[in-house]
Amino acid sequence: MTGELPPGLALQKVDERIMTLNVGPQHPGSGHMRIIVQIDGDYIVACDPDPGYVHRGEEKMAEYRNYITNIPHLERPVIHDSCNVLYPYVLGVEELVGIEVPERAKYVRVIASELNRCIYTMYWLAIYGIFLGHSTMFMWPAGDRELLIDLMEKMTGARVTHAHFVPGGVRNDLPPNFEDVCLRQVNYFEKRIKEYSAVFYDNPILIARTKDTGILSREDAIRLGTTGSVLRASGVDYDLRKKEPYDVYEELDVHTNVMKEGDSYARSKVPWLDMMESCNIIRQALQKMPKSGSVRTKLKPNPKGKGLDSVYKRVESGRGSLGCYIVSDGKTEPYRLKMSVGSFRNLIALPYLLKGEKLGNMPSVYWSLNYWPVEADR
């Protein structure tokens, strides 16, 4: 070949010992993303996560739709956690348009979002189990998740992607006799997830695989800007439900679960503890909820923002802080919508955690970050 190759095509000089390995984007163990790993023997030298394969342009799409028709497509990034994904958007639009939410609707929202958090965490836990080759831990959460999906179906009319929250409250009232059914199934669900400790969390094989792998220290967790269960597993007591309570969370007794270790084991255990806390919150909310009353403030079909205005709201989702920044210029569509998601912030920690680890530990470290590829790409 004559002449010089263009810079992009020129071969890079590499160390003979180092091999570059692409994990993904079609690998079942990575989700819709790629992790470029450089390995020396069995040890990871460097790692470069490469997200962006499922980018759908949610933020740009939102600029062409009005405040109501934005609802179905904005919950698509995480269909298992669709109520929580929609929560900051709905809170923001309420402030932009200037409407009050009935008291009962606030409690219904809290119940729906806590049920959704459990549904998401169960799905995440099932995949974490199968990543580690633990088939029982795949089957049990996938089956027990059905208890809560059934509740959401009764409540909202859809098993996933509920489109339940709207500015001004929720779409429909609870079905008759829902409180009893909810309490019964949530109690049984809590009993079931407690059984996971013997088969998974106290299992010496799991402990041997996940303990002391991918340690994220308290300082690094704060410096890298991680959120949610990753931050709480590193010993930082930070939960938006407690620090910046939205809707009725300040009237409920929210307990946060913090672990000091900061390794994969702690990161996988904190969401499980959070599920039990969610069950507590649901029980409290069912008890304190007003037994009757409206659940939706009437709103014009095509609401407008009040002139040039912007609002930023954030909630605690299953994957950490989830924020929504909306700019309005007084029209029926938002001028700009920005979603700041927990998944992307947690992914930033991955290169620091994998350095020096064995390649076999990569799935357990990667999935313990509570990362959802579709949400990170938006």
Partner 1 sequence: MGTATGIIRALNSGIKHIAIKRFTLRYPEEKLKFVGDGYQFDPSTGVGIAGLKGRHMLFHDHCTGCQLCSIACEGVAEAIAMVKVPDQQKQNKKSIMPQIDYGKCVFCGLCVDACPFYALYMTNDYELSSFSKEGLIYTPAQLQVKPYVAQDSEIQITSRGATHG
Site residues for partner 1 per CB under 8 A: 64-66, 68-73, 136, 143, 146-147, 150, 153-158, 161, 163, 171-176, 178, 184-185, 188, 195, 198-200, 202-205, 207, 294-299, 301
Q: Nearest distance from residue 167's CB to partner 1, in Å?
A: 12
Given the complex with partner 1, which of 192 and 358 has the nearer CB atom?
A: 192
- Quick one: which of 229, 207, 203 has its CA closest to 216? 229
Q: From the CB of 51, what's the least distance to partner 1, in Å?
A: 25
Shortest separation between residue 297's beta carbon and partner 1, angstroms: 8
Which is closer to partner 1, CB of 185 or CB of 340?
185
Reduce the DSSP state of residue 263 to 3 states and report it: coil
User: Which residue, 156 or 264, has its beta carbon nearer to partner 1?
Assistant: 156
Q: Which is nearer to partner 1, 11 or 198 (CB)?
A: 198
Query: Taking the complex as a whole, how short is the minimal distance between the CB of residue 188 and partner 1, in angstroms?
Result: 5
- Of 373, 346, 336, nearest to 77 by C-alpha is 373
Q: Which is nearer to partner 1, 19 or 207 (CB)?
A: 207
Give the shortest CB-40-to-partner 1 separation in angstroms.
31
Three-state SS letters, 321-367:
EEEEEEEEECCCCCCEEEEECHHHHHHCCHHHHHCCCEHHHHHHHHH
CB atoms within 10 A of CB 6: 7
At 140, which amino acid appears?
W
Contact of 62 with 70, CB cutoff 8 Å: yes
Scan for tokens 């990170």, then name that residue.
376
CA 53 to CA 137: how far, in whole Å?
A: 28
